[in-house]
Each structure stands twice: as C-alpha cells, then as structure tokens.
Chains A and B, each alone.
Chain A
Amino acid sequence: MLNYIGHRLLQLIPLLIAISIIIFVIIQLPPGNYLTTYIQQLELSGTAVNQSEVLNLQHQYGLDQPVYVQYFIWMKNILFHWDFGNSFQWQEPVTKVIGDRIGLTMLIAIFSLIFTWVIAIPIGIYSAVRQYSIFDYIFTFIGYIGLAVPNFLIALVIVFYVFDHTGLAISGLFAPEYVGQPWSWGKIVSMLERIWVPVVIVGTAGTAGLIRTTRAMLLDELGKQYVITARAKGVAEKKLLFKYPIRLAINPLVSTIGWTLPALISGSAIVEIVLNLPTTGPVLLNALMNQDMYLAGSFLLILSVLTVIGTLISDILLAWIDPRIRFGGMEE
C-alpha cells in the first residue's frame, strides 16, 4: 500500500510541471497582455500615455522578458517564496486576493460533495433494489428535473423564496456586519447559516446524475454470480445486499471524487455570481476577461493542483477498498 502511494506521488511531479506550463502558455495565448488592455483603457479615458512610461511599466511587470523567463520567475517565486505574483487589476499579491476565496470555494465544494453522496446513494440503492417500483419512477422523474433545470435558476428561486417568506437576503456567505471582518466565532456561525444555500444548489445538480449512476451500477452488480453464491449460502437478503453488491457498486464511484471536485468548483461559478458569494468563480471570470495573467494563472494552477490531489486521494481510497487494485490488478 505504501509502495503504491509512493509510486503515485512520484508520478505526480511530471504531471504538475506539465500542467503549470500548459496553464502559463494558455494565459499568454490571447493577443496583447494586461498592459495593452490597460493602455487602451487610459487612452479611451483621454489620458495620454508616453512611450517611456509604457516601457517603464513593461519592465516593472517583467513583460519585456521572453516568455520562458517569465515562466521560470513565476515558478521560482511560487516554490521558494509562496509568491504567486501580483494581480495587475487589484494591485495586490495574488495570495491576498484569492486566499480566503479558495478556502471558501473548497468548503462549498466539499460540503456539496457530501450532500450529493448522502442524498444520492441511498436513493440510487433504493431505486435499484426496488426497480420499477413507484418510488423508483418518482425519483427518476425528480432526478431528470434536477438534471434539466440550470443551477443558477434554482439559486434565484431559493433566494427569492427565502426573501419573500422571511425578509432575509441570503445572498452572500456572511451577514453584512461580518463582511470584510477578520474570522470570529460569530462569523463562522453566520457562514454556516448561509452556506447551505449554495451547497444545496450546487449539490442538487450532481445528485440527479449520481442517483442514475448508483442505480445503474447496482443493477449491474445485482445480477452477478457472486450475489447468487451468497444467496445460495443462506445469507439474509439485507445483509447480502450491503456486504456484496452495494459495496462493489460504490467502489467505482469513489474514483469519481477526483474529477467531481473541479467540476463542482467551475460549475458553481454562475451560482456564485448569482448568490454574490466571495468565492473564486466571479474573480476567475473577471481575471480572465481582463488578462490579469498572474491572477488567472495562479487560480488555474491552484485548482488544477487541487484536482490532481483529489484524484490522488480517490485513487488511494479505491486501492484501499478494492484489493484487485491494491495488488496490481488481475493476474489472468
């Protein structure tokens, strides 16, 4: 097992390097850079910009260096100084702009994931075991609605409904008095009071899909020979169900955690804008539109690293629960 984990960790290094290069290339791809956008804006507002000032700015931001030098400087600062560069737009270090936001985004993503699993898996199991029962049809129907309705619409409806009934504006993650304040017990409570809204909204979309997947996986397992063997041994039906087919149906779902996390993070951007949440989605969108390259790049880098870590964790979990993977696959 330790061997396996070490092996997987080693594999990560080239992967992460490749990702960082790709990200850097991508944020360099659009014509122009932050300065050209900036100068354009100055000119539009009537301010004359002279050539030496432009050169000065270019030098200050390191934009006069060749691209690969810019990449190495960026990487060096990240690795040795935990410095992701400055945001052009905010005139502040990237870490300061997004530090809290990344944390909150992750929190929402993880809660959403838990929410999704807790709701979807029991329903999926029930639907499979009582296939074609009335509840199976009802859950299937609700599931399709959940799949079809866009998240932001659900977000708007919930915000409106709560406001209409309680007069409480639940947009944002904190009550107004805590916005911009340092963390405190009250702030945490305020956050927990509101975080369920995005969690439920982001989670619902995934729930529908996961119900379908769980149901299909379990139906597949239920007909397998080892289930018949267990039944032929005299094992009681409920015990048999949980020990064998459900266990085997859930195994592959564990491996989806890795790519569910980034999907949750990026998929929730629109909801976050609608709900006015201090998370990453809105900032990322903005940074990409304004060619704020270090901000956008750092963002993408951090999300990618989190994805890779998520995948690693789910792979390790999977190896832990499935001996066939732990022992290096089938021997036949």
Chain B
Amino acid sequence: MEAKRLTGALSDPGASAWAQAAVEHVALSSAPLADQPSRYARSSWADRRYGLVRDLRIQAAHDGESFYLRLEWSSPTREARDAQENPFSHPLEGPDAFPDSVAVMFPSNGDAQLETKGCEGAPVEIWRWAEGMPEVVEDLLATGLGTLRPADGGSGLWARSGAKGSRWQVVFGRPLACEQDTPPRLAPGASTLMAFAVWTGANQERAGIKSYSQRWLDLALER
C-alpha cells in the first residue's frame, strides 16, 4: 500500500483528513498453537478459541514531517461492554483482566522472519498500543519469540486512540527523520514491510495468544 503525502490533522484518528487515504483490509488468523513457547499455553489453549479479530482496517499517510499509520478494528471486548461507557474508563486492574491491544511489526532486513519475530542479526521493530489508564504505547525490538524488549528509543513514536461504537481507532505516528538506528526507514520515497497482530482483552488474549497477519504487507511512502 502507499502512504500518500496528505495534509490535515492526521494525528487525530477521527479527522476528516483520513478520508483521502486509501483503505487496506488485512485478514488476520489465530497465531499457531504449535508456536506457543510453553507446554502450558499449548495445552491450556488447545480447546479455547482465540484470535477473535479477523479483520484490520489500515491506512497510512505522511505530511512531509511525520509518518502516520491508522488502524481500526471491531473489538469483541468493546461489544461486550456497556456501549454508553466511556471507552477509556474501563478498569483493567483485575488480576484476570487484559487490555485490547494492537501491534505493527517492521523487519530490519530480509532475514527477519514474520513467524519467529526476527532472529539474531535480523531484529524486528514492533509498535504496540494497549488500552488502559493510561494507555500504553511501546516501541519494542525482538530477535525471536520471547525476546521482546524496549527499543533503543529516539524514534519519537507516539499513538493516539479513539473509539466509535465497538471499533477502536488508533493512529501511530513518528517523525520521518528519527535518530534510532534500527529500521524501519520511513522517508518519502522509501518502502518497508509491515505485519500486524491484535489481542482481544476480554478473551484473555496476550503474548502469543493473538490474531496476526500471516504475510508481510508492502508499504511505500509517496515522495
């Protein structure tokens, strides 16, 4: 997909500026049980349905200064909650409560496999948003399953979120030029790959218990 050069309040997920950006739907499926790193997760989730979110709506844009990625999906967690409730007031402190969450992953080079979340010498960068008070925005690195750790920093990553009915709307943003030395390189004319994952908190989805896109999606930034 192409991230067009647009103007407008792109950092706002509800902004009308987003109507000018092309829409891509990415099909998600349950992450394979066999890839769960613990015997416990493999056996306890064998009979539990997970990866409930199957469709992620994606838009991308830049304005010459920053890159914006807008993600939207219908959340079974939000469907289950009171529609009148303030989307950001739901208590998540309970020991059995997990947040709705979304992540996008970028490979650093051609050796980084999607299934294994990169490997030694080929890290992947992961941007993650999770609902909550406060909501969580993380810039992470991984070099294989179970290796997630904070990225070096300096990327200037942020996220803004909103909700409409049962749908979450999240915009990730980052300055096009950033000090971080790991990819993705997000500059006008550059291209990269992306993959996605969504966790449904109400279904206790977390870690490898998620829905994910099985293929990389191409992203090119308009000059």
Is B a genuine binding partner of A?
A: no
